[in-house]
């Protein structure tokens, strides 16, 4: 499997990418939708290599840490600082997001309460089983890759009657914001790198409208450097041949129909809802929440949290346009003034590879 990272193979792929992009009008702007793609591109130093080969990568809205509104983070922080004998369990990356109340990482919990980082929702269930005298809330944030796992923890708790467990859900779906992006006028994005593991769950169908209705090419990509470059090549070929489609460049993991079992789980336990995305505003039917029969395990209902998502958004935030590649960070009136790494407003400043944070760090060197 080391071929996926091998220097000479990567160089070969980049040479080919360079050849094609030279024939088209470069730079070609491709949006990687998934936070993990952004991470991989960063980790292997691919961004600059791709730039040199005529491809500019734009970071899209697929970063659950970034697009979950502050109001959710603050509700989580509030719960562990004001309630005693309370355990907030969460994935690690969620805890570093700064809010007006600090970040989950820097909170000082109330007496008998604590924050515990977990790797899987199953661990949260274990915590609840082992501490029956404490209230356990799992801050379940994620896209379709993680949604089934979180949903199963809800049914498991329901079946076990684990009354001290509930989930504060911030569940999101990938296709709706993509629709919002392509429906805007004069979009700059020429192709999409679709998230490999979300696709393993939802399959190819949910993206087809992007190629069919809007004529924009895209490829489902895995997470090794080789996977990403193969998918980019496929996108360039689709552009050159003017044959936009949804290509599957991760066929070893993604089936065209996705994971039907996982889709059934989602269908059974959750229902769609309109949701407010940081930086993108309200998008209809873009979020998921537990169905009413599971209300006892839905932390928002159980603790009557009344989260008013989007109430914190600042007028003027241009993340939506930055995310679409239509505005550059300094063009946003909030950039570096009210919006900076210590108190970020939009996902572009929260995501470590978000356009605004990267610009801010680069400009200061």
Partner 1 sequence: MCLGIPAKVIEINESGIGKVDYLGTKVKANLSLLEDVKIGDWVILHAGFAISQMNEEEAQETLQILREYASHLKE
Partner 2 sequence: MDKVSLELGSGGKLMRDFIDGLILKNLGNPFLDELQDSAHLPQKIAFTTDSYVVDPIFFAGGDIGTLCVNGTVNDLVVSGAEPRYLSLSLIIEEGLPVDDLKRILRSIKTASKKAGVVITTGDTKVVRRGQGDKIYINTAGVGPLIARPSPQRIKPGDKVLLTGTLGEHSLAVMLARGEFGLEAKIKSDCAPLNFLLPFWRKGTKWMRDITRGGLATVLCELAERIPYSIIVEEEKIPLSPATRGASEILGIDPFYLACEGRAVLIVPENKSEEVLSKMRKDPLGKKAQVIGEVENKVGKPGELLLSTLSGGLRLLEPLTSELLPRIC
Residue 168 binding partner 1, by CB under 8 A:
no
Residue 200 binding partner 1, by CB under 8 A:
yes
Taking the least distance from each CB to partner 2, the nearer of 122 and 240 is 122
Residue 43 binding partner 2, by CB under 8 A:
yes
Taking the least distance from each CB to partner 1, the nearer of 96 and 255 is 255
Residue 18 binding partner 2, by CB under 8 A:
no
Alpha helices in 161-202 (DSSP H): 175-183, 196-202
DSSP letter for each residue of 229-265: HHHHHHHHHHHHHT---EEES-TTT--TT--HHHHHH
Residue 225 near which of partner 2, partner 1, none (CB within 5-8 Å, type-dependent): partner 2
Q: Which residues have CB under 8 Å from 80's CB, separation 6+?
A: 86, 87, 88, 104, 107, 109, 110, 113, 114, 115
Interface pick for partner 1 out of 28, 37, 329, 350 (rule CB under 8 A): 37
Residue 117 binding partner 1, by CB under 8 A:
no
Residue 209 binding partner 1, by CB under 8 A:
no
Binding characters for partner 1, 50-89, by CB under 8 A (x = yes): ------------xxx-------------------------
Return the residue matching tokens 């702007």: 29
Please give the C-alpha separations between residue 121 and each of 34, 138, 256, in angstroms, as whole numbers.
Answer: 21, 7, 27
β-bridge mates for residue 193, sequence order:
32, 219
Q: How far is the CB of 141 from partner 2 (least distance, A)?
A: 9
The count of chain residues that interact with partner 1, using the rule CB under 8 A, is: 50
Rounded (5°) CA angle 222-223-227 = 55
Q: How far is the CB of 364 from partner 2 (least distance, A)?
A: 12
Q: How far is the CB of 335 from partner 1 (least distance, A)?
A: 25
How many C-beta atoms lie closer than 10 Å to residue 100's C-beta? 10
How many C-beta atoms lie closer than 10 Å to residue 36's C-beta? 17
Among 147, 133, 137, smallest CA distance to 167 is for: 137
* Region of 57-65, 162-170, 270-278, 303-311 interacting with partner 2 (CB under 8 A): 57-65
Among 119, 139, 145, smallest CA distance to 33 is for: 145
Q: How far is the CB of 38 from partner 1 (least distance, A)?
A: 10
Evaluate whether 140 touches 150 at the Cβ level (below 8 Å).
Answer: yes
Which residues of the shown chain bind partner 1 in the complex (CB under 8 A)?
1, 3-4, 6, 8-9, 11-13, 15-16, 34-37, 62-64, 91, 119-123, 142-143, 145-146, 148-149, 152, 195-198, 200-201, 223, 226-227, 230, 251-255, 259, 261-262, 265
């Amino acid at each position: 499997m080391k071929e996926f990272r091998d220097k000479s193979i990567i160089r070969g792929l980049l040479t080919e990418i360079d050849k094609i992009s030279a024939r088209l009008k470069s730079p070609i702007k491709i949006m990687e939708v998934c936070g993990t793609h952004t991470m991989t591109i960063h980790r292997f130093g691919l961004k600059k290599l791709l730039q040199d080969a005529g491809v500019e990568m734009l970071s899209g809205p697929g970063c659950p840490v970034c697009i979950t509104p502050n109001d959710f983070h603050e509700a989580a922080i509030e719960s562990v600082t004001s309630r005693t004998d309370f355990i907030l369990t969460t994935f690690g990356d969620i805890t570093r997001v700064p809010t007006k109340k600090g970040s989950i990482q820097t909170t000082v919990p109330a007496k008998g309460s604590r924050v515990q980082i977990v790797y899987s929702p199953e661990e949260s269930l274990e915590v609840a089983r082992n501490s029956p005298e404490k209230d356990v809330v799992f801050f379940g944030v994620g896209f379709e890759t993680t949604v089934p796992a979180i949903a199963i923890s809800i049914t498991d708790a329901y079946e076990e009657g684990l009354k001290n467990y509930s989930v504060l859900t911030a569940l999101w779906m990938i296709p709706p914001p993509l629709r919002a992006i392509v429906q805007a006028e004069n979009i700059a994005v020429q192709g999409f790198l679709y998230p490999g593991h979300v696709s393993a769950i939802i399959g190819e169908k949910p993206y087809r409208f992007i190629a069919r209705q809007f004529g924009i090419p895209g490829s489902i990509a895995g997470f090794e450097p080789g996977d990403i470059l193969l998918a980019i090549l496929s996108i360039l070929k689709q552009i050159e041949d003017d044959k936009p489609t949804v290509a599957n460049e991760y066929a070893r993991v993604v089936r065209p129909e996705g994971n039907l079992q996982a889709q059934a789980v989602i269908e059974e336990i959750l229902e769609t809802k309109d949701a407010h995305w940081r930086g993108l505003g309200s998008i209809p039917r873009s979020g998921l929440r537990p169905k009413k029969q599971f209300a006892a395990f839905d932390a928002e209902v159980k603790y009557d949290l009344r989260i008013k998502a989007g109430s914190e958004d600042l007028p003027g935030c241009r993340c939506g346009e930055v995310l679409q590649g239509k505005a550059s960070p300094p063009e946003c009136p909030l950039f570096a003034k009210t919006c900076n790494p210590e108190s970020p407003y939009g996902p572009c400043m929260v995501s470590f590879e978000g356009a605004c944070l990267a610009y801010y760090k680069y400009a200061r060197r």
